[in-house]
Amino acid sequence: MRNAILFVAISTTSVIVIHVTQHLLGWDPLAVGFINGPLVSIDSWSLVHVMTFAMISYIYPNQLALFSMYGVIWEVLEFILAGGSNFWEERGVNSLWDLWFNLAGYRLGEWLLLWELERRWLREQQKRAREGATATVAAGGETGDQRSSPVTGESRPKRTL
C-alpha cells in the first residue's frame, strides 16, 4: 500500500507541477519532441518517465511487476483524460513508449542501487581488511576471513595491506 501511495504522490505531483507551468507559459515545456513519427514518440516527457521510475526502483527494488502495473494504469488514465482535451495530446504509440521508458528507468534505478551496494560492500571490506591487517600484525599471524558480496554472493578473500 505504501508503494501505491508513493507512486501516486510522485506521479500526481509531477503532473500538477508541469501542468501549472504549462498554464503559466501557455505551452507544455516537456512536449518538445526528440523523435516523433507514426511508430515512435520520444519527447522530454520520456526523460521524466525514466527519472521517476529510476527513483522508485532505487527506493523499492525487486517490484518491477507491481510498478509496471501502476504505469499501465496511469497510461490508461492519461489516455482517457487526454481524449478530446486541448490540455495535451496522447497517442497510443506515445503510451507504449512511455511504458518502455518506465521499464528502462526501473532497471536503471535497480542497477544504480546494485552499484551503490557493491561500492559500500567494497568500502566495508577495505575497512575490515585494514582493521584485520592491524590485528594480524599485532598478533603475529594471518586470518583466513572470507566475506561475500551482498549483490553477487561472490566470496572474496579478505584483503590485507
Tell me the domain boundaries of the chain: 2-114
55, pLDDT greater than 70: yes
Closest alpha carbon to 50 in 112, 115, 114, 104: 104
Beta strands in the chain (DSSP E): 33-36, 41-43, 146-148, 155-157
pLDDT band (50, 70, 90) for residue 24: confident
106, pLDDT greater than 70: yes
Contact in structure between 43 and 93 (CB atoms under 8 Å): no
112 phi-psi bin (left φ>0, alpha ψ -120 to 50, beta other): alpha
Closest alpha carbon to 34 in 52, 51, 46: 46
Q: Can you give the pLDDT at residue 140?
A: 57
